[in-house]
């Protein structure tokens, strides 16, 4: 298993809601993650270098590898599910765990995401305990 850059996982958090973006960023940082936020699916794909099915390097300009993607489900333009699909279609990113968040507890939605390969589904609003659990799942760095 690869080590994380600087020993901390780098998480890409995608959410169109400004308040939620701020919250998820702080939650992840408090769990010792490096965080990059994106306000929608398109921006997330751009960051990953996957815009327009561009499968080149998978690294953005700064070359920061992403260890996990956490995304809201309901977003304008591209839903979290559609973003998940695009990520799973990418040979470069399909192994990156993708977590879906939603304020709505809809079993068909949850199953749909899990079947598409989402790592897990989290109900909003997010709490410290939720993120701590997630962080545990991410601890893979061997020294």
Which residues are near other proteins by CB under 8 A?
17-20, 22-23, 26-27, 30, 74, 76, 103, 124-128
C-alpha distances out from residue 97 to 18, 19, 71, 77, 119, Å:
23, 24, 11, 22, 5
Alpha helices in 31-126 (DSSP H): 41-48, 80-89, 107-115
- DSSP string of 63-96, one letter each residue: ----SEEEEES--SSS-HHHHHHHHHH-TTTTTS
In the complex with other proteins, the residue whose CB is nearer, 32 or 55, is 32
In the complex with other proteins, the residue whose CB is nearer, 26 or 94, is 26
Exposed, middle or buried: residue 117 (CB in 10 Å: 0-12, 13-18, 19+)? middle
To the nearest whole angstrom, how small is the minimum distance from the Cβ of residue 60 to other proteins? 26
To the nearest whole angstrom, how small is the minimum distance from the Cβ of residue 104 to other proteins? 9
To the nearest whole angstrom, how small is the minimum distance from the Cβ of residue 15 to other proteins? 9
In the complex with other proteins, the residue whose CB is nearer, 26 or 140, is 26
In the complex with other proteins, the residue whose CB is nearer, 8 or 88, is 8
d(CA 131, CA 120): 12
To the nearest whole angstrom, how small is the minimum distance from the Cβ of residue 125 to other proteins? 4
């Amino acid at each position: 298993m690869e080590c994380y850059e600087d020993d901390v996982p780098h998480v890409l958090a995608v959410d169109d809601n400004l308040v939620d973006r701020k919250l998820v960023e702080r939650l992840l940082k408090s769990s010792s993650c490096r965080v990059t936020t994106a306000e929608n699916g398109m921006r997330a794909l751009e960051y990953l270098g996957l815009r327009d099915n561009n499968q080149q390097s998978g690294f953005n300009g700064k070359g920061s590898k992403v260890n996990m993607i956490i995304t809201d489900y309901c977003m304008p333009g591209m839903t979290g599910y559609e973003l998940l699909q695009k990520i799973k279609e990418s040979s470069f990113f399909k192994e990156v765990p993708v977590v879906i968040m939603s304020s709505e507890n809809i079993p068909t939605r949850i199953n749909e995401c899990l079947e598409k390969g989402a790592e897990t589904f989290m109900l909003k609003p997010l709490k410290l305990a939720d993120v701590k659990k997630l962080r545990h799942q991410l601890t893979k760095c061997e020294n």
